[in-house]
Structure formats: structure tokens, C-alpha cells
Structure 1
Amino acid sequence: MSTAVVQEDLVEYGFRRVIITITAVLCALLEIVDTTIVNVALNNMRGTLGATLTDIAWVITAYAIANVIVIPMTSWLSQQFGRRNYFATSIIIFTVASFMCGQATNIWELVAFRFIQGLGGGALLVTAQTIITESYPVEKRGMAQAIYGMGVIVGPTLGPPLGGYLVDNYSWPYIFYINIPIGIIATFLTLTFVRSPKYGNKLKANQVDWIGIFLLSAFVGSLQYVLEHGQQDDWFNDGTITFLSVVSLLGLFFFIWREMTYEFPIVNLRVLKDGNLRIGTVMCFILGFGLYGSTFIIPLYTQSILGWTATDAGLILVPSSITTAILMPFIGRMIQKGIPQSYMVAIGFFIFFIFSYWMHIEMTPDTGVENFFWPLIMRGVGLGLLFVPITTLALSTLSGKSIGEGAAMTGMMRQLGGSFGIAIITTFIARFNQEHRVNLISHLDPAKTVVQERIAALQRGFMSKGFSYDVALEKAYKVLDFGVTKQSTVLSYMDVFLYLGVLFLLCIPITLLIKRSKNKVSMSDAMH
């Protein structure tokens, strides 16, 4: 059977296509919301489960490790088990694990079930993208990517406000229980409406690349741990971090060697010979860096510096997501009309630079909610112009099953970019904070009149409330110290946004390396 016929076999029309699109977007949304929904519930989990801050970080780390291990294997697993069966099984694993997370009675039970949830969830992202792509005729695939992109962009932003609301009004297990009804509906719709492409012969058990799976897990798992825990464990001064860094490097080296020489690789790295895909994976990494990095830093700043609630901190990102969602269909149409995606990507990077620089200017210890609105609208426009054009560009010169393998590669790089982004931003905040604190304290010379007057005024204030002379003086110094800490933290956030903006600005010349595809962007027959 020719590729074209297989393609047409999978194209859906009318009601069926609407249902398949809703199912796939719902599953992608489920997976991505769960990467950020726990962020605002960590304090409550610590109290209930009696966990330390280091222990509770594993709730995020375990999920991310499982995600990044599974994503590059999705193309291969789909071919082995049939896409519909694999997709439905992944939803069931994700849903059951969500229920078990809510039932967990100690921290390590929760971490184990989060890992299993991540194994089910990682498959949902790339498989959903392929199902949507193949359900639309070739000329409408830019629009298909725009619809999928809405879920991927809105997801990380939807997590914190939804999690905040559930934690504030119910309790933390409900952030997992909310997945159960959606998972049941998605499983039913998948088994009823989604169809699998016809694959060639499946591999026998002795042909399965078990060594590749082990090396990939060692590389990604170790790297993810190093990134998540490096800063709090003092990087290479910690034996575990040093050991796992070596494991990660060796794992990467032997994984690349294995996949390039084995006849049936678990991840087909040869697909990276395509120049556009190579550039696309780099851009997806940077997109993940910006998307997850800014989603991480804004709630952190609003809660720790401005004193907002978890719900309010999450809601601030909603206008940005709505802007992206509104833009997506228009960008899909622009791609269909043949407007070069490289132009859109270059403009998107520049707009993201404007957003980052604007945030750098606006941040103070008492910035008002109104100061965030327009910069975050710019963020929404920038992400809209980056997500779909980068994805379609990366896959535009591929054909056949290489498209599915390329999609898995871009998905993995976006997730890794997010992990790198959060880890590097956390490290930079800690380092910049120390530098700014030292600089600010050096300017607080007790011999200066203005400093003496400030301390005396604070002391008088505390004495008027009944504190003794010595206690009031001690409290005055503490207030001054708190002010320095707050100011140095704000300055470190400002620095991070400035460097994030420069990173995006430096990406614009990379768009010049992109080759124009002779064909219309076609992400057809993925994973065949």
C-alpha cells in the first residue's frame, strides 16, 4: 500500500475529526498541566506527608525523569503495539497512577506513583500530536499543529491557578483526582474513534534494543537529577551530583554509539542528519527554556516578594495563555498560505526579547498587578509565533516514519529545555542574590547619617509598641536586613529576565540557517 493511500486512510472529516481533535488535545493538556499543577501544592504535601524540602522536590523530579525517558521511545512503542492501543494504555496508566498519587500515605509512595504517572503521560504528548496531524488533510496540517499547540502552550500556565484553587478550597489529593474523570472519557473516545496506521513487521523480543533503553534511562535520569538537585546540593562539591554527572556523560556517549550502530535502534538518531530538524531541536530546547523558565519565575516572584496567594500567582499568567490561544488559528492559516515560518520564528524571538526586557524594567519590591498585563500579553504573542512555526519547520523536510521520530525528538528537547531552564534559573537566582546582597550591605554604612536616621526611626516605632531599647534596636536591624534580602532577590530576578531576553535575541541569526522546503509543510504519515 502506498504512503499516500495510508495517509488518506487516516484523514477524518466532520464529527469524527472534531472528536479525535478534542480527545488528543485533552490528553496533551492533561499531561502538561500535571507538570506544573503540583508546584503550588508542595507546601501542603510537606505538612501532610511529613517530608523535607529535598524529599518533596522528588515529586516534580520523578515525573520529569519518566517523561523525558518515554518521549523519545513513543514512535517505536507505537509501531510495536499499534498507536491506538498504545495511546489508550498510556491514558489508563496515567489515570490509575493519578488515583494512587492521591491515595499515597508517605512521600516515597507518592514519588513512585508520580514516576508511573510520568511514564503514562510522556507518551500522550507526542502521540496526541501525531494523531491530530494525521486526522487532517495535508493542506490543513498547519492548522492542526496550531490546535495542538494551544494545549501545549496553555497547559503549563493552567496548572498553577487550577492547583492553587484546588489546594485553597479542598486538599492536595484533588489535584490528582481531577484527572480521573477526564482520563476515563479520553480512554473511551480513543478506543471508539482513533485508528492506527498499518505498520510493517513488529520486532521480536530478542531484537528489542534493551541496551539502548537502559543507556537512555541512565543518561536522562542522571541528568535530570543533577539539574533538579545541583543547586541545593552545592553542585560538584556533592559526591552524588559528581557521580551522576559522570554516569550521564557516559550514558550519552554510549547511547549515541549504540543507536548509530544497532540495526533496530529504540531512537533513530540518523533522522538528525536532516539540517532543519537539527536547527528545530535547538530552537525547541530554547523554547522550552523560555516557556517553562518564565512560568516558573513569575509565580515565584509574585508569591515570595509581592505576597500573593497561590491562586492569584497562577491567574496572572492566564492573559498570556489566552493571547497565545487566540493567535494559534491565525498562525495556522499564515502557514497554510505559505508565509515563511523562519520570518515568524525571528519575529517571535524578538517579541520574547521585548517581553523579557520589559519584565526586567517593571520588577520592583512592590510592583502592582496592572504592571504585568502588557508584558505578559507580549509573552503570549511571542510564544504563539514560536511554537507552531518551529515545530513545522523542524519536520518540514522529513518524510515517512521519520516525521514521527522527528516529532519525538522535538518533544524531548522542549521538555529538556524546560528542565535546564528551571535548574539554571534557580542556580543564577541563588548566585546573583548573594552578589547583590554583598553589594547592598557594603552601601549600608552605619556611619552615614541617612542609615542612622532610618535605624533610629524603626527603633522608636518598636519602642512605642512596648519593646525595650535593646530589643527594639535588634528588631530595627532585622527589618533593615529583611529589606536588603528582598531588594537583592528582586535584583536577581531582574538579571535573570535580562539574560533570558539576550538568549532569545541571539537566536534570531539561527533562523537564517533554515532551508526552505520545496513541498508544502507536510507532517503526514508520522510514525508509519
Structure 2
Amino acid sequence: MATAKATLPPLQGAVLAIGAVSVSLATFMNVLDSSIANVAIPTIAGDLGVSANQGTWVITSFAVSNAIAIPLTGWLSQRFGQVRLFLASTLLFVFASFLCGTAQSIEMLIAFRVLQGAVAGPMIPMSQSLLLASFPRAKAGTAMAVWSVTTLVAPVVGPILGGWISDNYSWPWIFYINVPLGILAAYSTWTIYHKRETVTKKLPVDTIGLSLLVLWIAALQIMLDKGRELDWFNSAQIVALAAIAIVGLVFFLIWERNEKHPIVDLSLFRNRNFTGGVIALSLGYGAFFGNVVILPLWLQTQIAYTATLAGLTMAPVGLFAIMLSPFVGRNIHRVDARIVATCGFLIFALVLYMRSLFTSGVDNWTVMLPAYIQGFAMAMFFTPLSMLMFSGLKPEQIPAASGLSNFVRVLCGGFGSSIATTAWDNRSALHHSQLMENANPYNPIYTDNMDSLRQLGFSADQANAVFERTLSVEASTLGANDIFYFSSMMFLVLILAIWSTKPVHGKHAAVDAGGTH
């Protein structure tokens, strides 16, 4: 993309520092919002009178609309300019955040989250572009290190902040907090960058491709979220949604293959490195994000954790990630990126296997230990997989490849959370029915427990209620264990995708990857 920035000198001194902080602050706000709601879901669901599973729509609606908006970023930046697009995206995000805080029903909140995700689409790609243009070319790695730290800190701060706000104030403040942050980021960014706008030009937009994209993704997401509630394919609505998703996807693929200016450049998948890297990154991120949603839900709804405590137990994941990511970024070109990524996936598998052994009586240290270890995996996740994806691509292919890989990754994150919560519900119901089969007068363990409760002064109805609650907690714990175990095995299988690549080694490959992390 031809830009005016290519002829402008890098920023220097205090101006560079302020510009980097300003752009990073907006990125921080965006990433924060993808995690801050996770621990607040039970509170939001209870306040709006819906189940916790229905409350997860607050997360998936943001992720899916965000994914759909990402492929438009390239066209929008050329049509309106990178600086104007970044500022407009930031200010609209602030407005949508305010609307989310004012929502009086789950339907209103989901609608405003869809808006919030859509306007947030260009923020992260544009923040990368502005940062890279601000630093000298030789310090591109430093620019991406600054960007990476903000994207790693935000998921750590998000659960803690979301839990603390939910426990001490009210859930709308997890959205209102974006208002001052966003206004400050927009003002300081405009002050630094308004004279560094890029050249704009009119380009055709693939309206048919975009319409088909929205159609099949929306149909698939609604099917995943509403499936259990409507008894899956016993419902005509679910069958219709599945048909729309399949037909829409087929027509979308056919159209994009023949479109001169496609919204998604599918030809990139002819490159084995890009394909293998995207599969590993996107499916790995989907498994990771699904578990990030499940864990705080399980802790709060079954193990009686407060939102604050649930957030704190997830916080350690960022400790080693923040410490190690700059080291990995500086030295990744010295080793085979496949080895580093494989180590990351093995650690993810170990962490999830450890969680699959949780019991309903788990102590806080046992919950937190995997989170500390997971920080190592996070540091070995994005950087080596980015190197693998972009290795061997031509420089002019990098922007489209970056947009496509981010689109698939964010989309898989939204689908992953929906699939994980639905699977958890189904596995919990299965374990509940299996445990209930043993709750009969012929089982001495059952009769002894009921006798003990009655001796403590419980009536028959009270004893049954206590037993049912205990059974539900055990069933939900076993269901969560199943999700953790399956995700652990999934990371092991995805190592095959990593080794399907044949990266171009050396300094050139590292620079390409560093500029598109």
C-alpha cells in the first residue's frame, strides 16, 4: 500500500514515546475488553435474568463481529487513511462501550457488543502499522515488543479488574472504564499523528463477498449458541441456520476465488507455511480462548469463588509471558521457529492436562499453578507461529496475510468459546445422569450420606436438596475436566500442523515475521 508515511522520518525522543504509549493504550483497551467480561459473566447473567451459558453471548458476539470487521481494514485504511481510521475506530469503540454499560437487557447488551466488536476491527492492525511507521526501520522489533507487552498485559489485568469491579461496584463499569481511556488515547494519538496521515485512494469494495461472509458466519455462530437451547437438529430453526451457513460458505468460497478484489485473499492458502501456521495458530487460539471462558465460569458457579478471586487465579498467566516474550522475539531467528512453537504447544497440553485433574475440593494454589506455567506457553505462541506463517511470502503479500490470519484467529476464538460452553453443558448433563444412577437405596454410600444429613437435623427434602447440589457440582467439575482434557489432546495433535511447514531460515524471515506479529 502506498502511503505518505513511507517518506516521513521516524519519530524521535519524547514524541516517539508519547506516540507509542498513545497507540498502545488504545490497543490495551481493545484487548482488555475481550477478557474483562469473562469473570463478570455470572454477575451480568444474574442481573439480566439469564443463564450463565446465555451470558457467554456477551463474549462471542464481540469476537465474531470483530473477526468480520478485520478483513475490511485494508480497504478502509486506503479509502480514509490510517490515522483517521484508527481515531474513528477508537472513538466509536468508546461510544459503543458507553452503550454497553447502559444496556437493560441481554438482547440490548449483545447488540451493543456486536457494534463494539465491529468498530474495533481496525484498531489492532492500525496500531501495528502506526507503531512500525513511528520507529526507525532497524528498531521494528522494539516497536513490536512495545505492542506485544500491551497485548499480554491486558489479558492479565482484564480478569482482575473485571472481577474487582463486579464485586465492588456494578458490571456496567467494566464498559464505562473504556470512556476515559479511549478519549485520552484518541486525543494524544491525534496530537502526535495528525500530520502523518497516509495517502488515500478509492478502491472497489467486495460487497457481495462481505455480505456472504456476514451471512455464513452469523448463521454458524447463532447455531452454535442456540443449539442446546433448541435441542440442536430436532429444531427446524437450527436446521435452517446450518443450511444457511453451509450454502453461504460454499458460495463465499466460489465468489472469493474469482473476485478481482476479494475481501479475503484465499490464494494465500496455497502457501504451505501460511496454511500450517494459520491452522496451528487459529485452532490453538480457539482451544485456549474456550478454556479461558470455561475456567472462571466453573470457579464462580460451582466452586463458590468471587469474581475478584476468579480473576486473581487467572492473572499469573501473564507473569512469565511478559518477562519472556521480548527475549523470544529477539532470539527467535537464531533457532528453528517450529521447535519453539512445539515447546509452547507441549506446555499448553501440560497445563490443560493439569486442569483436567481438578476436583470440586481443589485448593487455590492448585488452580493457580497451571496459570503460572501457561505464561511460558504464551511467550512461545504468537511470535514463532507468526514467523512460520509469513516465512517465504513476498513483502507485498504480508498485509493481506496478516489480515487473513487475524480474521481466522479471532473467528476461531469466538467459535471456540461457544463450542466449549456447549460441550461443557452437555458433558455435565451426561455425568449428572450417570451419577444419579447410583443414587438409590441399594447404594450404601448414598444411604450413609442421607442418614448423616438427617442426623444433622435436615429434613428429607433438605437432605435431597443438599445431595442434588453436591451432585451438580461434581457433574459440572467432571464436565469441565473433559473439556480441559480434550483441549490438551488437541494441542498435541496441532503440533503436526506446525511441522507441516518448511520455513525460510535466516534474518530475512525474522524481519518479515517481526513486522506482522
TM-score norm. by structure 1 comes to 0.88
Q: In the alignment, does 2:491 pair up with 1:504?
A: yes
How far is 1:348 from its partner? 0.3
Asked if the contact 2:42–2:297 (Cα under 8 Å) also holds between the matched residues in 1, the reply is no
Amino acid at match of 2:418: A
How far is 1:417 from its partner? 1.9
- Alignment map for 1:477-496 (pairs within 5 Å): 477-496=464-483
**Corresponding residue of 1:182:** 181
Call closer, same or farther: CA 1:390–1:15 in 2, change over 3 Å.
farther
**Corresponding residue of 2:84:** 85
The 1-side partners of 2:365 and 2:42 are apart by 28
How far is 1:61 from its partner? 4.1
**Corresponding residue of 2:96:** 97
Counterpart of 2:322 (choices 302, 322, 325) is: 325
**Corresponding residue of 1:74:** 73
The 2-side partners of 1:480 and 1:353 are apart by 34
3-state SS of the aligned residue for 1:513?
A: coil
**Corresponding residue of 1:466:** none
Q: In the alignment, does 2:357 pair up with 1:354?
A: no
**Corresponding residue of 1:281:** 278
**Corresponding residue of 1:161:** 160
CA displacement, residues 238-274 of structure 1 (integer Å, 9 cap, x when unaligned): 2222222222222222222222212222222223332
The 1-side partners of 2:53 and 2:127 are apart by 33
The 1-side partners of 2:449 and 2:400 are apart by 63
How far is 1:139 from its partner? 5.0
- Alignment map for 1:244-283 (pairs within 5 Å): 244-283=241-280
CA displacement, residues 145-167 of structure 1 (integer Å, 9 cap, x when unaligned): 44333333443443232122222
Relative to structure 2, which stretch is displaced further, 384-393 or 143-152?
A: 143-152
Call closer, same or farther: CA 1:55–1:375 in 2, change over 3 Å.
closer
Asked if the contact 2:5–2:133 (Cα under 8 Å) also holds between the matched residues in 1, the reply is no
- Alignment map for 1:30-429 (pairs within 5 Å): 30-42=29-41, 44-45=43-44, 58-194=57-193, 201-203=201-203, 207-335=204-332, 337-361=333-357, 363-429=358-424
**Corresponding residue of 1:467:** none
Call closer, same or farther: CA 1:388–1:483 in 2, change over 3 Å.
same
**Corresponding residue of 1:469:** none
CA displacement, residues 391-419 of structure 1 (integer Å, 9 cap, x when unaligned): 23212323334212111112122212212
The 2-side partners of 1:248 and 1:183 are apart by 35
The 2-side partners of 1:14 and 1:20 are apart by 10
CA displacement, residues 164-206 of structure 1 (integer Å, 9 cap, x when unaligned): 2222222222222111111112112322334768558422xxx
Asked if the contact 2:90–2:182 (Cα under 8 Å) also holds between the matched residues in 1, the reply is yes
3-state SS of the aligned residue for 2:293?
A: helix
3-state SS of the aligned residue for 1:462?
A: coil
3-state SS of the aligned residue for 1:520?
A: helix
Call closer, same or farther: CA 1:341–1:59 in 2, change over 3 Å.
same
Relative to structure 2, which stretch is displaced further, 185-194 or 138-147?
A: 138-147
The unaligned stretches of length 5 or more in structure 2 are none
Amino acid at match of 1:378: I
Relative to structure 2, which stretch is displaced further, 364-373 or 141-150?
A: 141-150
Relative to structure 2, which stretch is displaced further, 230-239 or 86-95?
A: 230-239
Provide the identity percentage.
31
CA displacement, residues 25-72 of structure 1 (integer Å, 9 cap, x when unaligned): 322221222223234444554566566778755544432332121012
Counterpart of 1:520 (choices 500, 509, 513) is: 509
Q: How many residues align?
A: 513
The 2-side partners of 1:295 and 1:168 are apart by 20
The 2-side partners of 1:356 and 1:67 are apart by 27
Asked if the contact 2:65–2:118 (Cα under 8 Å) also holds between the matched residues in 1, the reply is yes
The 2-side partners of 1:98 and 1:475 are apart by 44
Amino acid at match of 1:217: V
Amino acid at match of 1:26: L
How far is 1:296 from its partner? 0.9
Asked if the contact 2:5–2:196 (Cα under 8 Å) also holds between the matched residues in 1, the reply is no
The 2-side partners of 1:491 and 1:102 are apart by 35
Asked if the contact 1:142–1:521 (Cα under 8 Å) also holds between the matched residues in 2, the reply is no
CA displacement, residues 66-112 of structure 1 (integer Å, 9 cap, x when unaligned): 21210121122112211111111101111122223323445544333
TM-score norm. by structure 2 comes to 0.90
Asked if the contact 1:156–1:292 (Cα under 8 Å) also holds between the matched residues in 2, the reply is no
RMSD between superposed Cα atoms in Å:
2.8
Q: In the alignment, does 2:427 pair up with 1:432?
A: yes
The 2-side partners of 1:397 and 1:12 are apart by 30
The 1-side partners of 2:294 and 2:48 are apart by 26
How far is 1:347 from its partner? 0.5
Relative to structure 2, which stretch is displaced further, 277-286 or 425-434?
A: 425-434
Relative to structure 2, which stretch is displaced further, 188-197 or 307-316?
A: 188-197
How far is 1:425 from its partner? 1.5
The 1-side partners of 2:437 and 2:205 are apart by 62
Q: In the alignment, does 2:479 pair up with 1:453?
A: no
Asked if the contact 1:154–1:321 (Cα under 8 Å) also holds between the matched residues in 2, the reply is yes
CA displacement, residues 408-467 of structure 1 (integer Å, 9 cap, x when unaligned): 11212221221222122222212222332233233344224443222211111125xxxx
Amino acid at match of 2:426: R
Asked if the contact 1:143–1:332 (Cα under 8 Å) also holds between the matched residues in 2, the reply is no
Amino acid at match of 2:177: I
CA displacement, residues 90-142 of structure 1 (integer Å, 9 cap, x when unaligned): 01111122223323445544333322221221221222233334444555444
